[in-house]
């Protein structure tokens, strides 16, 4: 009887959404293609007419890898969340740092594999969500993300920014993935043996001339294999059915960067440096501008998270928010509840999007909703569409919604934003990122009062 009730409720909500929009309501999370000044329907029609001979592998592997990624990242979220909580009590624990580092590396490998499948599957019609992106903030976040992996190879990362006010007009997810993939490739191409006693510096520099962005990564410890370019191209042509040996992880990272650069008339080239090591140069075209010096946070939702978790992460927020959490996985649901309650928040838990909509109908006093994207009965995107169209009541139509998901493949963030999920927390959820998001919501709530 409960199952019948849930199905009837979802049908009723989706039917109401259809009547409100004047168009058939989605029965699943749709793929969307977004380019400024171009109709999505035209692109979709062209995609249908495009040759499919080289995409058969990726059409199946995209779904398979996304599912594998989701199923592995869900327990990873629990492991990393617990490790971060333990570090609140023992900040200098090397064992916990190792645990987080290993989990982060596993996450980056999964992300690279799923990204490569997505890029190849979408062909030239990869979705984009264009916004003004701070190149400085993007690179600094990448530096923090890669620091642990680099330290294991006696590498420290230094950055130099031509102008911290520079903003690029593009997809923040694409820009970050291009640069991070290239940096990870450089780190992974550094041998684990024969390392120097003192750390060497991997430098990241960039400059802009006209509309061309040039970014260089110089690593004195990197080894450039003679057939690197051939191996990378081999990965990109894997759909041709050739037999393959074990693929080195640095080539996978480079394949993602190279494939994605193609969307921006870009190129990537690695060359040996006379004094030792390798310099990788990327060039791509993108509109840019200088932001106002007073712009406090010019990036679309990006915040630089640095250093150890520290006790500041878990301290009580300046204001108690009433938080609705919709998450079908019990471990993830309980972990989010623990984190939020330790920050002094008032938490209500539900198990799917339908229950979230009904809870908001019953109680419109919630300040924010955290919705897992992949849930049974009604997923996070469907629930968001219902909320934004007033099906949970006019009082909560504009409630801040945070997408929480392990399906964080490249361009997925675009779908969430277009559905009305302004904020985005990929699994494994970082404590600092969660806190920073809630602080932003608190600040905006105060500004409205």
What is this structure's pTM?
0.66
Residues contacting 295, CB < 8 A, separation 6+: 165
User: 279 with 138, same domain?
Assistant: yes
Per-residue pLDDT of 374-430, as tens digits, reads: 888 999 999 999 999 999 999 999 999 999 887 666 667 777 888 889 888 877 677
Domain C-terminal end among 258, 290, 322: 290
Q: What's the confidence (pLDDT) of residue 124?
A: 57
295: left (phi over 0), alpha (psi -120 to 50) or beta: beta
Residue 369 lies in a domain: yes
Burial of 159 (0-12, 13-18, 19+ CB in 10 A): middle
Residue 214 lies in a domain: yes
User: 269 with 344, same domain?
Assistant: no
- Span 89-114, mean pLDDT? 74
The CATH number given to whatever domain includes residue 422 is: 3.40.50.2300
- Span 62-74, mean pLDDT? 66
Domain C-terminal end among 257, 290, 323: 290
Among 144, 261, 253, 162, CA closest to 205: 162
User: 198 with 268, same domain?
Assistant: yes
- Span 204-212, mean pLDDT? 90
User: 324 with 443, same domain?
Assistant: yes
How far is residue 119's CA from residue 438's CA, in Å, rounded to a whole number?
A: 32
User: 259 with 315, same domain?
Assistant: no
Say yes or no to pLDDT of 239 above 60: no
User: 164 with 264, same domain?
Assistant: yes
- Span 317-338, mean pLDDT? 88
Residues contacting 269, CB < 8 A, separation 6+: 280, 281
Residue 384 lies in a domain: yes
What DSSP character marks residue 307? S
Number of Cβ atoms within 10 Å of the Cβ of 294: 5
Domain C-terminal end among 233, 260, 290: 290
Residue 47 lies in a domain: no
Among 364, 327, 368, CA closest to 346: 368
Residue 177 lies in a domain: yes
User: 322 with 222, same domain?
Assistant: no
Per-residue pLDDT of 278-291, as tens digits, reads: 999 999 998 888 87
Per-residue pLDDT of 110-130, as tens digits, reads: 777 777 777 767 665 677 777
Q: What's the confidence (pLDDT) of residue 23?
A: 46
User: 279 with 139, same domain?
Assistant: yes
Q: What's the confidence (pLDDT) of residue 99?
A: 75
Q: Which residue has the higher pLDDT, 80 or 351?
A: 351
User: 382 with 259, same domain?
Assistant: no
Residue 2 lies in a domain: no
Tell me the percentage of the chain whose pLDDT exceeds 70.
74
How far is residue 29's CA from residue 17's CA, in Å, rounded to a whole number?
A: 14
The C-alpha angle 130, 134, 135, rounded to 5 degrees, equals 105
Domain of 157 in residue numbering reads as 128-290
**SS3 of 303, please?**
coil
Q: Quick one: pLDDT band at residue 449, thresholds 50, 70, 90?
A: confident
User: 277 with 321, same domain?
Assistant: no
Residue 143 lies in a domain: yes
Q: What's the confidence (pLDDT) of residue 206?
A: 95
Number of Cβ atoms within 10 Å of the Cβ of 39: 10
The CATH number given to whatever domain includes residue 197 is: 3.30.565.10
Least confident piece of the model among 11-20, 161-170, 241-250, 371-380: 11-20
User: 278 with 324, same domain?
Assistant: no
| Contact of 348 with 359, CB cutoff 8 Å | yes
Residue 72 lies in a domain: no
Domain count, the chain: 2
Sign, CA dihedral 320-326-417-136, equals positive
User: 235 with 340, same domain?
Assistant: no
Round the CA-based radius of gyration of the chain to a whole number and report it. 22
Q: Quick one: pLDDT band at residue 258, thresholds 50, 70, 90?
A: very high
């Amino acid at each position: 009887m409960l199952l019948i009730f849930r199905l009837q409720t979802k049908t009723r909500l989706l039917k109401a959404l259809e009547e409100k929009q004047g168009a058939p309501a989605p029965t699943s999370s749709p793929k969307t293609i977004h380019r400024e000044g171009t109709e999505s329907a035209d692109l979709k029609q062209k995609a249908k007419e495009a040759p499919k001979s080289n995409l058969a592998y990726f059409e199946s592997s995209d779904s398979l890898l996304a599912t594998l990624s989701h199923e592995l990242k869900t327990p990873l979220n629990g492991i990393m969340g617990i490790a971060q909580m333990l570090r609140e009590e023992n900040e200098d624990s090397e064992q916990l740092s190792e645990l987080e580092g290993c989990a982060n590396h596993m996450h980056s490998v999964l992300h690279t594999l799923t990204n490569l499948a997505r890029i190849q599957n979408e062909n030239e019609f990869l979705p984009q969500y264009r916004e003004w992106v701070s190149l400085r903030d993007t690179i600094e976040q990448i530096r923090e993300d890669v620091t642990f992996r680099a330290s294991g190879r006696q590498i420290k990362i230094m950055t130099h920014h031509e102008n911290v006010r520079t903003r690029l007009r593009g997809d923040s997810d694409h820009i970050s993935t291009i640069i991070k993939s290239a940096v990870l490739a450089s780190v992974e191409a550094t041998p684990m043996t024969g390392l120097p006693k003192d750390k060497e510096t991997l430098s990241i520099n960039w400059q802009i001339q006209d509309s061309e962005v040039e970014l260089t990564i110089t690593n004195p410890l990197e080894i450039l294999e003679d057939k690197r370019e051939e191996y990378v191209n081999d990965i990109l042509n894997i759909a041709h059915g050739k037999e393959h040996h074990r693929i080195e992880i640095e080539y996978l990272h480079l394949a993602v960067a190279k494939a994605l650069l193609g969307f921006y008339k870009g190129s990537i080239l690695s060359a040996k440096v006379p004094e030792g090591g390798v310099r990788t140069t990327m060039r791509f075209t993108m509109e840019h501008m200088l932001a106002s010096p007073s712009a406090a946070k010019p990036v679309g939702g990006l915040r630089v998270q640095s250093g150890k978790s520290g006790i500041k992460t878990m301290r009580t927020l300046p204001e108690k928010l009433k938080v609705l959490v919709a998450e079908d996985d019990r471990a993830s649901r309980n972990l989010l509840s623990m984190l939020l309650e330790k920050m002094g928040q008032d938490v209500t838990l539900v198990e799917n999007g339908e229950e979230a909509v009904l809870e908001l109908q019953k109680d419109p006093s919630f300040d924010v909703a955290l919705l897992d994207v992949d849930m049974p009965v009604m997923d996070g995107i469907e629930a968001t569409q219902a909320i934004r169209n007033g099906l949970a009541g006019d009082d909560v139509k504009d409630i801040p919604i945070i997408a929480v998901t392990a399906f964080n493949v490249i361009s997925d963030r675009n779908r969430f934003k277009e559905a009305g999920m302004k904020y985005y927390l990929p699994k494994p959820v970082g404590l600092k990122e969660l806190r920073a998001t809630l602080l932003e919501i608190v600040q905006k709530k105060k500004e409205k009062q």
